[in-house]
Structure 1
Amino acid sequence: MAPRGPSTPAPPTGPSPASPSTARAINDRLALRLLQEEGPLTAAQLKTRTGLSRPTVADLVERLARAGMIEVVGESGAQRRGPNARLYGIVARRAFLAALDVRTDSATAVVTDLLGRPLTRTALPVDAPEAAVAELRRAARVAGADELHTVAVGAPGLVSPATGELRDTTGLPAWHRELVAALQRQLPARVLVENETNLAAVAEQRLGAARDLDSFVLLWLGAGVGAAVVLDGRLRRGASGGAGEIGFLPVPGTVGLPSAADCGGGFHSLVGRDAVTALAAEHGFTGPAEEAVAGGAGEPFLDALAERLALGAAAVAAVLDPGCVVLAGGLGLAGGPPLAARVAARLTDLTPVPTEVRATALGDDAVLEGARLAARDAAQDTLFTTA
């Protein structure tokens, strides 16, 4: 590029002033976010929280009401009756959403309104994607929805960060991918797919055990074993979506090494549900794994399980230094704080990296809660931008 001569004016520096339409869009989005996070507010409360002038707030309230985004939902008792006391809230029925928790042998769906409030819950048939979509449509109609705006699916397996596609993963039934394809093909809704453990981490950070943390690793302990990585407030998926495949982590105490197609011999072989059930049997307990972890198999069993869990947690701490590990899933919930305390104590002997260990606050419901939050956020991002 030729150099600019002395008579050529220099380009302006610093940000350009926003156009009136851009400023209105920014103000509208700010107001809608406040109404989502804090519930119904009066115009005076919106003025205080946004820092906008009274006329600007009056204009945006009128504009959002006309667009069908907000409505009067009551009056504030703390103010005199009349226009100044009107409480405005988001029109929750503006859009209906669905959250799906897809496991290896089951699928559960919750239909919500735009605020993410659950309206109906149903089990979807497996091995029959067309029937599963039909059941989801039926549940949506029960909730009062003609159509769904956004559907968020939490599923086991790798999800490509670039395309959002659920990859064909060895060991998972084909109907998982067929269900996602059927949802995308038959519904006018936007369909989002995310790894189940990642969604559990989102839920724990916003609603559960990690609400005060910017960095942590969630260990999902159930039929399978997985991990989700949150660092500096961001969910980290890795280059291929494989961050957190801790079931394949080679660890001492297993019979061999895992392979690209089989996590046998990896961390999964020590702390998956079948492994925990077998460990409990060695300690004389023959009941379900969750009952064993809840204390039914005795303290020696819990010490042995904590030893195994600490191996994986120590590897996580050494590589990522997350500051905290959350024991999640059904087994993490069953073990609760007593199991977390045992793992933390053993962890101090295995790594110099300070690492807190916490028990899940949500258990198995974390995946569905994470999917519900993902659907709500995606729908609001779209609707709040176009309001």
Structure 2
Amino acid sequence: MLREINDRAAIEALLRGGPLTRAELEVVIGLSKPATAQLLTRLEQDNLVGKAGERAGGGRGPRAQLWAVNGSLAHVAAVDLTPHLADFVIADVAGTVGAEYQVELPVHEGADVIGTFGKALKHVTRKAGKNLDDLANVVIGAQGAFDPRTGLLSSAPHIPGWLGFDVPARLSEELGIAVTIENDVNLVAVEEMTVGKAQDVDDFVMVWLSEGVGGAVVIGRRLLRGATGGGGEIDWMRVPDPATVDTGDRWPEAGARFGNLVDSPGITRLAKAHGLTANKSWDAVTEAKTQGNERFLDDLARRVAGGLASLVAVADPQLILLSGDTSRAGGEDFAARVADKLHELVLPRTPVALASVQGNAVRAGALQSALATAREDVFGVVTPTLRGPSRPSENTAGAPRTALPSSAPSPTE
């Protein structure tokens, strides 16, 4: 039992910070020099780790041997699926990227979305020097809510061709690989938990402000997906409009949809009421900052805070992170402005900050999720935060993976 625990601790350390020398690994996992040497020999014999070059020392002494996990034991695919572009990446189980591919895929109603997706996946897999049956799993990030009970996507009118059928089941059957669908903002939250500002935070809320609006709620280091996959779908919350100018909108008695207030069209209408000319929300924020239009920035901050107040009242998170093009245009100054307006509405003094993850955070989060599943299969290393709900009968396609000896204790979530 203790041996398997030490083995997993070593593999986790090598996955997180490797390649490492024996001496570095010894410090990280807290074993003696002989015990660490025996552990590495054992893992090398099991083909779970291998030598990965040498690290030059500062003097004339011998170079230290580096060790790394055997990334070739499994490969995964991650995809950011949008109406305009599908962004693919193939990586080995150590996280080393083998190939990337961006392509426009048809998403209109009646399109062969399964067939065209499969062709694109085959292309990028071959580009990485692999075949489809070399992939342990595929994780797709999509703009919408995924219901784990039915396999259906909802709140996704922008990709109508993907609606009305059990997406992961159809893809898994077609490709012969375990396929998972996840909300795009949930995956951004996963990436922020892995390498961003939420690494040491148990409970936080992420709000995505760009062309559209999305959210993710994390409680106890786990994504709150909800019974139907709608956890964090803040777009449909009803909130009052606190703007101080007339934007020409006439909201129903129940209040405006939060998404209509802070999506790009809603923000540009607000901007025009404040005398700005930009046609995209992020450009409007940049223009307002350049011109010193404090009234617009305050009105926008009030709108964002009005939606956040409901989340804070229910979840009482440690942190709120703003992400997306509009948030990035506002920067930390806008995040501070939102915090000020939020603290006028709720008792908790929840900090508001700008998300730190750059680049395609959706694809990066999908890759982290795919790797988490593969690493559990191969190494027995469990990352509960990244594991989503599944039905017992789904995601069973594909060949069995190499694992640590069966005598190891079964991981629990």
Same fold at TM > 0.5: yes
Match of 1:157 in 2: 144
CA distance in 2, matches of 1:365, 1:221: 15
Task: Give the one of 56, 62, 74 matched to 1:81.
Answer: 62
Is the contact made by 1:273 and 1:289 (CA closer than 8 Å) also made in structure 2? yes
Change (3 A) 1:284 1:47: closer
Match of 1:322 in 2: 317
* 1:5-44 per-position Cα deviation (integer Å, ceiling 9, x unaligned): xxxxxxxxxxxxx4xxxx4433322211111112122334
CA distance in 1, matches of 2:83, 2:44: 44
Who wins on radius of gyration, i.e. which is larger?
1
Is the contact made by 1:205 and 1:211 (CA closer than 8 Å) also made in structure 2? yes
Change (3 A) 1:220 1:364: farther
Matched, 1:293 2:278: no
CA distance in 1, matches of 2:205, 2:144: 18
Change (3 A) 1:148 1:218: same
Match of 2:159 in 1: 173
Match of 1:378 in 2: 373
For 1:69-218, what aligned pairs fall within 5 Å after superposition? 69-78=48-57, 80-81=61-62, 85-124=64-103, 125-127=105-107, 128-146=113-131, 147-161=134-148, 163=149, 165-169=151-155, 171-177=157-163, 180-218=168-206
What secondary structure does 2:257 align onto?
coil
Match of 2:388 in 1: none
What secondary structure does 2:95 align onto?
coil
Change (3 A) 1:117 1:304: farther
* 1:51-104 per-position Cα deviation (integer Å, ceiling 9, x unaligned): 34555434432332233321111224349538xx32111122332211111224
Unmatched runs of 5 consecutive residues or more in structure 1: 1-17
What secondary structure does 2:215 align onto?
strand
Task: Give the one of 207, 213, 219 matched to 1:219.
Answer: 207
What TM-score comes out, normalization by structure 1 length?
0.83
Is the contact made by 2:276 and 2:287 (CA closer than 8 Å) also made in structure 1? no
Is the contact made by 2:151 and 2:168 (CA closer than 8 Å) also made in structure 1? no
What secondary structure does 2:8 align onto?
helix
Match of 1:272 in 2: 263
CA distance in 2, matches of 1:175, 1:364: 27
Match of 1:39 in 2: 18
Change (3 A) 1:170 1:375: closer
What secondary structure does 2:13 align onto?
helix
Task: Give the one of 306, 329, 332 matched to 1:334.
Answer: 329
Change (3 A) 1:238 1:76: same
CA distance in 1, matches of 2:94, 2:117: 24
* Higher RCO structure, 1 or 2 (CA under 8 Å, sep 6+): 2
What secondary structure does 2:145 align onto?
coil
Change (3 A) 1:169 1:341: closer
Alpha-carbon distance, 1:145 to partner? 1.9
What secondary structure does 2:99 align onto?
strand
Task: Give the one of 339, 352, 367 matched to 1:344.
Answer: 339
What secondary structure does 1:68 align onto?
coil
Aligned-pair identity (%)? 35
* 1:224-244 per-position Cα deviation (integer Å, ceiling 9, x unaligned): 212111123222222332221
Is the contact made by 2:210 and 2:281 (CA closer than 8 Å) also made in structure 1? no
Which 10-residue stretch deviates more, 120-129 or 167-176?
Answer: 167-176
Match of 1:234 in 2: 222
Alpha-carbon distance, 1:175 to partner? 2.6
What secondary structure does 1:284 align onto?
coil
Unmatched runs of 5 consecutive residues or more in structure 2: 108-112, 242-248, 381-402, 405-413
CA distance in 1, matches of 2:41, 2:106: 47
CA distance in 1, matches of 2:12, 2:199: 19
Is the contact made by 1:107 and 1:126 (CA closer than 8 Å) also made in structure 2? no
CA distance in 1, matches of 2:253, 2:101: 36
* 1:89-142 per-position Cα deviation (integer Å, ceiling 9, x unaligned): 112233221111122443221222222233322224133331221111111111
Alpha-carbon distance, 1:352 to partner? 1.9
Matched, 1:368 2:363: yes
Matched, 1:62 2:41: yes
Is the contact made by 2:143 and 2:156 (CA closer than 8 Å) also made in structure 1? no
CA distance in 1, matches of 2:144, 2:316: 25
Match of 2:391 in 1: none
Is the contact made by 2:265 and 2:280 (CA closer than 8 Å) also made in structure 1? no
What TM-score comes out, normalization by structure 2 length?
0.78
Is the contact made by 1:333 and 1:362 (CA closer than 8 Å) also made in structure 2? no
Is the contact made by 2:78 and 2:89 (CA closer than 8 Å) also made in structure 1? yes
CA distance in 2, matches of 1:186, 1:233: 33
CA-based RMSD: 2.7
What secondary structure does 1:131 align onto?
helix
Alpha-carbon distance, 1:181 to partner? 4.6
* 1:166-210 per-position Cα deviation (integer Å, ceiling 9, x unaligned): 444463534335664553123233222222111111112222233
